[in-house]
Each structure stands twice: as structure tokens, then as C-alpha cells.
Structure 1
């Protein structure tokens, strides 16, 4: 089946999905009402946006600082992202890092295409001995770039290691480095690209060849570099004149980022349902991605919404549900919390045909593909714990572990996976720079306030009775009124809960119970009438 890029526009919301064989390879969404400010204040900072910020607080104990970038929450700047080393320090550290990494490969690490942040490209700490308070002070005006968007209650994370991502290369104006995406495996091609990059980058700057640079000519890479260099000069000029906090550069528009970040050369068809987006996409492709010309198609004849037509809406609905069913009858339970994401694999209705161990192995292998897919689609990040069904044979555990590493190769985010433990658990991490799909599309339940649970009616009744006993013992009046949820009042007055009459007799007071339909099931009020 052909690989297709589907782009949908609904009022201020734009969604894009890259699909192949009915599976969503990548999904992006943006709602434009919190985008692109006209003044110096930003409604929402996106990854790649550059600001002239003002340091509002330095925390030596945390080796970090908070920077005002014009957003409602101050941006977080860690010491490693704050320190810009000298050229000599960079060269010295690069040499040490190269020697220490020779012949080493981190077990379970799946490397994505280097995109926009330095940490994904150059894994080194320049000055482990330096303290943030020695080179940053409160009130300083500094140039920072968003490395991680605001997530949940946290503000954005920023870095002073500015990067500009083009189609084929990433340009770093402050870091001297020549690199090639680790997804390009051919040593001969890697050396060829390094030679080209060395000739085009000025001393003291850095260039990284992205995965799509494989096989590209000197002319193509030079064109990409010149465009990014011009962009950097424009940003520098704007930053000199701007007064902090101020936006000095905003990343590409949503449509342009879709083509830069998730579209690749082997996309067979690009289908859009907005003529305005179609014009913007064709213009961008004509200038930067000429090989994709002629692949566009306008979706306007069918009355069925485009995402519904291609089954994307259904997949997105599955991605915000806690339970995901497997084709065999098994299932995954996915719970996302502030601390981590837990995934539990169950056989469900699948009973197998041969041995119990083979049934478990087949379920786990099927779960592996779905887990990798759901992590990508939901954009889950941080610590992830996967509870596979226990396997007795060590070779089966290795098979499932290797299958998971293979499935994660499709992921653009960097992952690190530990082998299956004796308890059948897999511990892994996944880098995330944007919020999860569920947080973007959902909000905490106003009834349970996001806990997923409410007290049972019986628990509320006993809690109410304990409170009522205290009120009856203190009040001097002869009457007490109770207001509660209808289910609670029904239980209180039911035959199985014959306590009200007993309390009236014991305290010599009248108790009136009234139902309030607009009360939360856990809400109740007790009013003594003093007279």
C-alpha cells in the first residue's frame, strides 16, 4: 500500500498524518488560536522558536535559571544548556568524548534522525566543573531557543545552544562540530558527507547531516546551509535591536514543519482538504523539495471528512483510550501519569492452539508492534514500564526484546530500552519535546478531578453518619437537615441502612434528608437548626 500524507484543516485546527498500510507513522496537530503573536509576548512557545529572554532567577542549588520569554510561565534553563564553551574547550571535550566512545554502543539505544536540539546530536557535557551563577546573573538578557514545549504544569525548557534545522542539515552557530546522522550506516557515505560539511561550515560553527542527506550532492547541501546561515544573520540582527522579553524567530508554519519533519522522499501521495494549505504546501515544496512536486491531490468531492475516510479518526480515538485491543484478542492497558507510563499486556480472549508458552510468546510479539505504534502516536515520554506476560524461556525473552528494539526504529524520538527483567518488566525511556496526545485532546474529568475514581455511595453514607453524630452531639436544637446527592439519600433512607431512626431516638432530634441533583456524589451538607 502507498505511503500517504493526509492534511486536514478544521477552522483553526490543522492535523497531519503520515500513513502506510493503514498505520499512522507520524501524527502532528496544531490549533492556531495559540500561535504566532504580533507583539513581544507569545501565547505558546513552540520547539525551535527563539527568544531574547531576561533571567529572572538563578538557582545555584539546582544549577539552573528561570528566564522570562514573554510566556505566562518562566522558561527553565539548565546549566548544561546555559554554558557556551570556548572553541578550545569544545575541541578538547570533543576529543575526549570521541576516545571514550570508541567501540562502545549503548545497549538498547535506538537513535532517531537528529533534528533540532543539540543533545540529540552531540552527547557531551562541556564543563562539569562550572557553576551557573558564575556566568549568568539575574537581569541578564540572553538569546534562548525552546527545546521542550510547556507540558502539563511545567513551563518550556530552553537552551542557549541555538540550532537551525533545514531539510538536509542542522546548523549550530555556537558549537564547533561536524556530524552525520547515526541512521546513515554506510561508512563510505558518512565520510563523504563529513568531507562536504567540513568545506561548507565556517570555523567555530557546527553542521550535522540529517538522515535525508544520504546521497545528496555538495550543491544541495550548500544551498541548505546558505539558507540557514542567512536565517541566523537575520535572527542576530533582530536580537540586537529587541528588548527582552521578545520573540526574535519563530519556527516554520505548521504546514512547512510537516514537510520538514514527517514527510520523506518516498511519500507517494499528499492529500489536503484546504485549498489555502494546498497552495502553501506546493509553494514550499517547489522551493525546497522539488522531488515531491506532482504528488499533490485536493480532497474536495467526497462528503466524508478526510480523516474519517482514511481511518485516521478511529486510530486517534484508540490512542486516547486506556485500553487497546490486539487482533488476536489480547489487549494493552496504558496508563499515563505524571511520573511514568505503565503498559500491561494481557492475553484476553486469545487462548492459543499449542503450548501455553507459545500462546504467551505470540501475544507478547503482537503487543510489541502495537506498543511501539501507540507510544509514537500518543507521544508518550519519560519513563515507560512495560509488563509483558511472563515467559519461562530465556530465548523467548530475548526474541521479544529484540522485536521491541526493531519496532522502535520507526520512531523519530530517541529511546533507550533495558532488557526484560526477571519479573517480565521492560524499563525504557523515550525523549519527548511536545505534550502527549491525551493532554492536547483531553482534560481531567471535572467530576472525579482526574483521579479516575469517586468514593462509593456506601463510603459517603458512613462518612456522613460519622459527621452527623458529631453535629447531633453538639447541637442544642431539635432538628437537623441533611442535603446530599440522590444516590446517597436513597441509600440512607433505604431498608438496608436503618440508622436514621436509631439516631433520632438516641439523640431525641428530628433528622430531615433532602436530595440535591446538582450535588457531587461525595458532597453533602448538614445544617443544625438552633431554636
Structure 2
């Protein structure tokens, strides 16, 4: 499979698209704000301790306080944290949503990943300074989540200075290579830090391993030195930009080529590769076409479609992706597809086609947390098994950790996907200024009826001898036309004239009733 990284670098925003056979599979966006801070390390100050939640809020200098759970500061849990992380590939070792070894359900964010007997008030006090790392960027109304278990990712390894443990990516499957890596680390290791070998470490020699350890150790020592001389709250370490993270984490392992449209960015990538990854040989190209790079690679249209609620399937069916505060609901419908043979086969084909699109959209949109999929009801057990097997197999392409529960009697699939950063919709969109994010408005007829009810109610309390109602022009047109009988009958009943006044500045649901005295 041909994989490419396409980078659109602008002064205010950088976008990195991972293409698989020419189709966008993942999108990473970094804008000129403080929303993409995962991996940053701060010297914070305990702002408030919450015994009832076994957590604390930490002031790290951002608009929102960070959330620190008790298990993220209790030293005795470090070994358990590392044990779970060893089951992952190149995941974040600080993420509380890692899949446990025993395959128990994944706990959702803001909840403990495992329990301890420690109490939060025994571990931290208000005003205490603490070194923390962002494990989850702020999402919506939730502030960032932080952990005191620091992790510093390199090209080949992840350094975990609070954990005395060695782990190896599950993508390195050969027992001989796993044994070799552990023995090699044992021979060169001079500290009791924890290390996780990443997938790229396969085949690494002793010299490169020593350089990697020295680089990560020096970075950690620099952070500690700055921590001793800085006052809280302050930023001690900033993770790489989205372009360099893509180079470090995806290039060679996930992609074979990088194309970037910025000359400065192009030179920076070459310099980064020369300093930190001199031994690899990949294609890095400077895009010089007249057409914008994302248009040239047909990416812009895919991004636009990924922001829509309705996604059409090739057969004529469609899926609806509807995010809520607590979860994301995905509904499958046959739409225009009527099938060629029988009803059961039509449903099966639609569900199978929907599975591939759902897995693709989840990854592209970076949908995380709880996901509920409502497939079209299937009667045959073999059809249900076929759909579930395809869903599980298709989700394996996703680097993010997922956990899928069996199909319920109602035809629903419950699943979770690890959430670290904001999804595509939250990154690029904001609530509609007109509907306030509700997604719905009162119908014009309902607004007219509501005005009628309010006029009836106020007619008994207001002493004026006439009313003026200011409304949106479309409502005024309706009250002077199709719904004019409402005003005529009301004038007759309250025995006072009513004047409808259009105001183009009004929201369509907005109106005001004024009493006036006739001269």
C-alpha cells in the first residue's frame, strides 16, 4: 500500500494528511492556539483538591485548570501502568484508556483506569507545586487531563523516568527480536528509568540505541533543571510541532514519502531528519505547483465531506454521524438502495458497505470516546456475524485503541476509541451562531402561534390601548399573509389594535411586544 504524508504549512495553521493509495486516511491539524498541547510538560500548582472525585485541579497557566486523577500521581501504580502500556504499539503511556491485559472493558476518560488505596488528600495539598504532562488536550468544556507519569517519545523508544520497566511494541512480533532488544537495553542501560521500544526500533544496533537513550536522558535532565529554577505555573517542555511529530512517528513506519508546500518547512524537515534520523532514506519533496497542495491531491473535498452529518454510500444507502456531549451515534440507512434479490440481502449489503465507511470516517474524523452504531436490523445469525467480523477486522487498521462489544438484541454496537485530541469537527467548527448549536429552529408557524399566546397573556396585564410587535421580516410576512387571521381574531378578542413591525436585525425566533398609548 502506497502511503504518503502531504503537508500544507501556513503561518497560522499546519495540516498534515496521511494518504493511503491516494485516499486521505488521517488528518492532523495544528492551529495558532493552545488547543493542541498533548505531550507538553508544565510545572503546575494544585489549585483545588476534590476528595469526592479523588482528583485535583492543577493551575498550569492556561484558561482552564487541568484535571489530575489520584492514579496519575501515586507511585505504586507505575508498574501497573507500564504493564498495560506494553500491550500497546506506539500509544501514549500516560493515557488512562489503554486496554488492560485481561481485556476488561476500557474505562472512559475522566475515570480511573485502575484503583489504588491512596487518597488524593494524602498525596497533594492546595498550593503544592507539581510536575505534570498533558495526556489529553482540552475538549469542549473539559480542561486538559494531566499526569505526573512523564513520558518522552523518541524515534525508537519512549522514556518513562517514573517507571522502572522495559516494554516492547506489540507490532514487533518475532520472539528472537524481542529478546534481543531486551538484552541489548540491559547491556547499555545505566539508570532505572523505564523504556518502551517503539516499532521503529526493530533491527536497531547498540550505537543507535545509546544515542537515543543519551538524547532522551539529556532532554529529561533539561526539564528537571528548568523545573528547579522556574516558578509555577510555567511551560517546561513543548512537544514537537505537528509536522515533526508526523516525521518522527509516521515517516518510514507509516509512510514512504513526504510532500510539503513550504520552502522553510521543507528545509526544516530535512534538517530534522539529518540531526535525528540520519540513517533513514525517504523521499521528501517540495511542492511547487500553482494549485494549492490539498486541492492537487483531492484532499480538500474529503475534509469538507468529513464535516457533514450524512455520508452517502456507493450503493445509495447512507450513514448519519451525530455527535452528542456524551457519545457519538452512527445510524445506518438503506436510503435509495432497493437491492436486486431479497430484503435480507439488501440489508446485509448495506450494513457491510456501511462498516467500511464507518471505520474510515471514525479514523478520519478522529472520533473518540463512546460510539454507538445502529445497524439495520438483521434476522440471520450468520449475517450478524459477518458484519461484526468485518467491523473488527476493518478497525485493526486504526492505530488508536478500540474496544468493540458484541451486537446487542436491538442491533446496536457499542464501542470505544481512545481519545487524546479533539476530533475534526471540534477542531474546525464551532456551534452555529444562529441556532446556538441545537441544530434545530422553531418553525415559522410555531413562532406565530407563540406570539399569539404571549399577546393573549400580556393583554390582561398591560394597560396600553395598542400593541406593537417587533419580529423578523419572514415572521412579519407570515403574520400579514397566511397567518393574518391570528392577528385579526386576537384584535377582536382583546379589543386593541396590533401592529406588526419587521426588523431585519432580529433572529428568526426573536420578537418583542411593546404596549403603546394611542394619541
Once the two structures are superposed, residues 220-270 of structure 1 have per-residue CA deviations (whole angstroms, 9 ceiling, x without a partner) of: 333222211110011111101111001111111332111123333463321
SS in 1 for 2:485: coil
User: Corresponding residue for 1:48?
Assistant: 39
- CA displacement at 1:402 relative to structure 2: 1.7
Answering whether residue 182 of structure 2 is matched by residue 206 of structure 1, we say: no
Answering whether residue 368 of structure 2 is matched by residue 391 of structure 1, we say: no
- CA displacement at 1:120 relative to structure 2: 6.6
Residue of structure 1 aligned with 2:65, choices 63, 74, 83: 74
SS in 2 for 1:341: strand
Answering whether residue 250 of structure 2 is matched by residue 257 of structure 1, we say: no
Q: Please give the alpha-carbon distance, in whole angstroms, between the structure 2 residues aligned to 1:157 and 1:261.
A: 22
Please tell me whether the aligned partners of residues 321 and 328 of structure 2 are also in contact (alpha carbons under 8 angstroms): yes
- 1:287-436 alignment to 2 at 5 Å? 287-290=275-278, 292-293=280-281, 295-300=283-288, 302-436=289-423
SS in 1 for 2:245: helix
| CA pair 391-113 structure 1, distance change in 2 beyond 3 A | farther
Answering whether residue 157 of structure 2 is matched by residue 166 of structure 1, we say: no
User: Corresponding residue for 2:50?
Assistant: 59
Please tell me whether the aligned partners of residues 345 and 387 of structure 1 are also in contact (alpha carbons under 8 angstroms): yes
User: Corresponding residue for 1:13?
Assistant: 13
User: Corresponding residue for 1:156?
Assistant: 144
Residue of structure 1 aligned with 2:458, choices 467, 471, 475: 471
Answering whether residue 15 of structure 2 is matched by residue 24 of structure 1, we say: no
**Greater CA deviation, 358-367 or 272-281?**
358-367
Please tell me whether the aligned partners of residues 112 and 409 of structure 1 are also in contact (alpha carbons under 8 angstroms): no
User: Corresponding residue for 2:75?
Assistant: 84
Answering whether residue 183 of structure 2 is matched by residue 195 of structure 1, we say: yes
Superposition TM-score, scaled by structure 1 size:
0.90
User: Corresponding residue for 2:263?
Assistant: 275
- CA displacement at 1:283 relative to structure 2: 1.0
Please tell me whether the aligned partners of residues 324 and 332 of structure 1 are also in contact (alpha carbons under 8 angstroms): yes
SS in 2 for 1:257: helix
Q: Please give the alpha-carbon distance, in whole angstroms, between the structure 1 residues aligned to 2:469 and 2:163.
A: 69
Please tell me whether the aligned partners of residues 48 and 145 of structure 1 are also in contact (alpha carbons under 8 angstroms): yes
SS in 1 for 2:124: coil
Answering whether residue 495 of structure 2 is matched by residue 520 of structure 1, we say: no
SS in 1 for 2:349: helix
**Greater CA deviation, 289-298 or 400-409?**
289-298
Once the two structures are superposed, residues 449-482 of structure 1 have per-residue CA deviations (whole angstroms, 9 ceiling, x without a partner) of: 0000010111111111111012222223321111
Q: Please give the alpha-carbon distance, in whole angstroms, between the structure 1 residues aligned to 2:114 and 2:462.
A: 71
Once the two structures are superposed, residues 252-302 of structure 1 have per-residue CA deviations (whole angstroms, 9 ceiling, x without a partner) of: 1332111123333463321111000000111111223335435111111x2
- CA displacement at 1:115 relative to structure 2: 3.7
Please tell me whether the aligned partners of residues 54 and 245 of structure 1 are also in contact (alpha carbons under 8 angstroms): yes
SS in 1 for 2:396: helix
Please tell me whether the aligned partners of residues 340 and 383 of structure 1 are also in contact (alpha carbons under 8 angstroms): yes
- CA displacement at 1:180 relative to structure 2: 1.1
Q: Please give the alpha-carbon distance, in whole angstroms, between the structure 2 residues aligned to 1:287 and 1:427.
A: 45
Please tell me whether the aligned partners of residues 114 and 120 of structure 1 are also in contact (alpha carbons under 8 angstroms): no
Superposition TM-score, scaled by structure 2 size:
0.92
Q: Please give the alpha-carbon distance, in whole angstroms, between the structure 2 residues aligned to 1:198 and 1:372.
A: 40
SS in 1 for 2:460: helix
- 1:97-246 alignment to 2 at 5 Å? 112-117=89-94, 119=96, 123=100, 128-246=116-234
| CA pair 352-199 structure 1, distance change in 2 beyond 3 A | farther
Q: Please give the alpha-carbon distance, in whole angstroms, between the structure 1 residues aligned to 2:332 and 2:447.
A: 34
| CA pair 199-26 structure 1, distance change in 2 beyond 3 A | farther
- CA displacement at 1:521 relative to structure 2: 1.2
Please tell me whether the aligned partners of residues 112 and 411 of structure 1 are also in contact (alpha carbons under 8 angstroms): no
| CA pair 487-67 structure 1, distance change in 2 beyond 3 A | same
Once the two structures are superposed, residues 374-394 of structure 1 have per-residue CA deviations (whole angstroms, 9 ceiling, x without a partner) of: 111111111000111222221
Q: Please give the alpha-carbon distance, in whole angstroms, between the structure 1 residues aligned to 2:252 and 2:387.
A: 29
- Count of aligned pairs between the two proteins: 507
Q: Which runs of 5+ in 1 are unaligned?
A: 35-42, 102-109
Once the two structures are superposed, residues 177-214 of structure 1 have per-residue CA deviations (whole angstroms, 9 ceiling, x without a partner) of: 11112233333322222222333444532111112222
**Greater CA deviation, 486-495 or 413-422?**
486-495
